[in-house]
């Protein structure tokens, strides 16, 4: 069976979008002309493949098959600066990202929401896993390019989309796109979820997105669940004494033309103010609440205390449109 050829980088030249499939020497940086356009969210899409690498060390279904098929290790190794560095990072980043994935499910369960719109789904398997339950309706969304790759990838892996599972192209800055995706719920309450998206959005984009989400959630009594609220203070604590992470962040900035640390909220007060002013009430809950297993700790023989030191300060927010 042929391997799906996944774009490593998308490049904009003379206002035309070109796919670049990586170079002999690693990941090619984008030119300044591309940055001017700022319709460049598709540069963020390759990071979905980075996350897919760390997820392979978990018990999340399909993660190993996905990672193998797209050579996630190759993408991740280039970004991290080699296999050895990547291995060191995996020992704590894999459990951290496992917690990020599983804390969403834990909150959806707690809140009793079975209708879910996932933003920026990348190549994460959640939609395929959750729709095993017939009472679930799951709408997978992302930017057009990666959403097409997602469809092709799962088809190639022989993982069937079920009748309660939909795909819809959504740029979170477009209210039209979001309204289109919410139609699958036929007026019933639904939850919007995402992970790994906010770090790539500048404040004005986060504002536009929050306004759009408020518009679609308010009339349908929905909730908004995300583990993505992060502060500059937290990033600095993570980076401190961790040169491999500094390198990884720099490589991610090179590919995405976005700086995760600059994009973060100043502190918790700033984040709370931001979402309250956007019209949401906020429930702040811990990433790890003991309701799920962190399987990658055992698989990677990770230092549990080190991992928990990273996970403990993180929160998953459950918000409601006031
Ligand atoms: C780090 S990946 C996370 C993917 C997935 N949620 C996961 O955890 O594996 C970031 C994702 O954000 C998406 N993205 C970036 N800008 C976006 C936008 N404006 N609207 C929708 N999705 C966007 C990218 O296409 C990419 O799939």
Residue 187 lies in a domain: yes
Structural domain of residue 223, as residue ranges?
9-321
Ligand 1 close to Cβ of residue 200 (< 6 A)? yes
Atom of ligand 1 nearest to the CA of 171: 20
Tokens at residue 82, please?
């080699």
Q: How many CB atoms lie within 10 A of CB 120?
A: 27
Residue 2 lies in a domain: no
Ligand 1 close to Cβ of residue 260 (< 6 A)? no
Residue 3 lies in a domain: no
Alpha-carbon distance of 153 to 66, in angstroms, equals 8
Residue 169 lies in a domain: yes
Ligand 1 close to Cβ of residue 48 (< 6 A)? yes
What are the pLDDT digits (tens) for 209-261?
999 999 999 999 999 999 999 999 999 999 988 999 999 999 999 888 899 99
What are the pLDDT digits (tens) for 145-159?
899 999 999 999 999
Q: Check whether 272 has a pLDDT greater than 60.
A: yes
Number of domains in the chain: 1
Name the pLDDT band for 46 (thresholds 50, 70, 90).
Answer: confident
Model pTM?
Answer: 0.89
Residue 112 lies in a domain: yes
Between the CA of 272 and the centroid of ligand 1 the distance, in Å, is 23
Strands 315-321 and 280-286: antiparallel
Q: Check whether 172 has a pLDDT greater than 90.
A: yes
Q: What percent of the chain is modeled with pLDDT above 70?
A: 88
Mean pLDDT score across all residues of the chain:
88
Q: Cβ contacts of residue 148 below 8 Å, gap of 6+?
A: none
Ligand 1 close to Cβ of residue 41 (< 6 A)? yes
* CATH code of the domain in which 192 resides: 3.40.50.150
CA-based nearest residue to 195, from 271, 281, 103, 320: 103
Ligand 1 close to Cβ of residue 142 (< 6 A)? yes
User: Residue 183 CA to chain centroid, in angstroms?
Assistant: 23
Between the CA of 135 and the centroid of ligand 1 the distance, in Å, is 26
């Amino acid at each position: 069976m042929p391997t799906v050829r996944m774009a490593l980088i998308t490049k904009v030249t003379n206002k035309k979008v070109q796919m670049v499939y990586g170079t002999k020497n690693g990941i090619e940086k984008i030119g300044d002309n591309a940055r001017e356009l700022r319709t460049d969210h598709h540069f963020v899409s390759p990071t979905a493949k980075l996350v897919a690498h760390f997820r392979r060390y978990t018990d999340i279904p399909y993660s190993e098959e996905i990672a193998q098929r797209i050579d996630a290790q190759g993408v991740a190794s280039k970004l991290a600066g080699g296999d050895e560095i990547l291995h060191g990072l995996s020992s704590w980043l894999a459990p951290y990202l496992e917690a990020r994935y599983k804390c969403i499910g834990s909150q959806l369960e707690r809140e009793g929401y079975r209708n879910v719109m996932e933003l920026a789904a990348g190549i994460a398997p959640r939609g395929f896993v959750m729709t095993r339950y017939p009472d679930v309706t799951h709408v997978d969304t992302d930017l057009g390019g990666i959403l097409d790759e997602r469809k092709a990838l799962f088809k190639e892996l022989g993982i069937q989309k079920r009748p309660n599972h939909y795909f819809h192209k959504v740029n979170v800055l477009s209210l039209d796109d979001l309204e289109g995706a919410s139609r699958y719920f036929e007026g019933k309450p639904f939850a919007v979820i995402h992970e790994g998206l906010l770090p790539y959005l500048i404040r004005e984009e986060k504002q536009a997105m929050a306004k759009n989400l408020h518009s679609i959630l308010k009339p349908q009594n929905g909730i908004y669940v995300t583990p993505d609220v992060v502060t500059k203070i937290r990033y600095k604590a993570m980076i401190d004494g961790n040169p491999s992470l500094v390198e990884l962040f720099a490589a991610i900035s090179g590919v995405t033309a976005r700086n995760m640390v600059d994009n973060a909220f100043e502190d918790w007060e700033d984040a709370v103010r931001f979402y309250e002013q956007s019209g949401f009430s906020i429930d702040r809950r811990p990433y790890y609440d003991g309701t799920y297993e962190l399987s990658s700790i055992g698989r990677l023989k990770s230092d549990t205390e080190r991992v928990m030191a990273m996970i403990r300060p993180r929160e998953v927010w459950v918000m409601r449109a006031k």
